[in-house]
Amino acid sequence: MRIITYNVNGIRAAMGRGLIEWIKQTNPDVLCLQEIKATPEQVNVSEFEELGYYHYWYPAQKKGYSGVAIFSKKEPKNIEYGCGIAEYDFEGRIIRVDFEDISIMSVYHPSGSSGDERQAFKMKWLKDYSAYINELKKTKENLVLCGDFNICHRAIDIHNPKSNANTSGFLPEEREWMEVFINGGFVDTFRHFNQEPHQYSWWSYRAGSRGKNLGWRIDYNLASESMTPRLKRSVILASAVHSDHCPVLLELD
Judged by DSSP in three states, 188 sits in strand
**What is 53-113 written as a DSSP string?**
-EEEEE--SSTTS--EEEEESS--SEEEES-S-HHHHTTT-EEEEE-SS-EEEEEEPPP-T
Secondary structure letter of residue 244 according to DSSP: S
The residues that bridge with 80 in the sheet, in sequence order, are 96
Single out the catalytic residue among 148, 157, 188, 219: 148
Q: Which residues contact 117 (CB under 8 A, 6 or more apart)?
A: none
Rounded to 5 degrees, φ, ψ at 212 are: -90, 0
Task: Look up 98 and say whether it is catalytic.
Answer: no
Alpha helices in 114-210 (DSSP H): 116-136, 172-183, 189-193
Residues with catalytic roles: 148
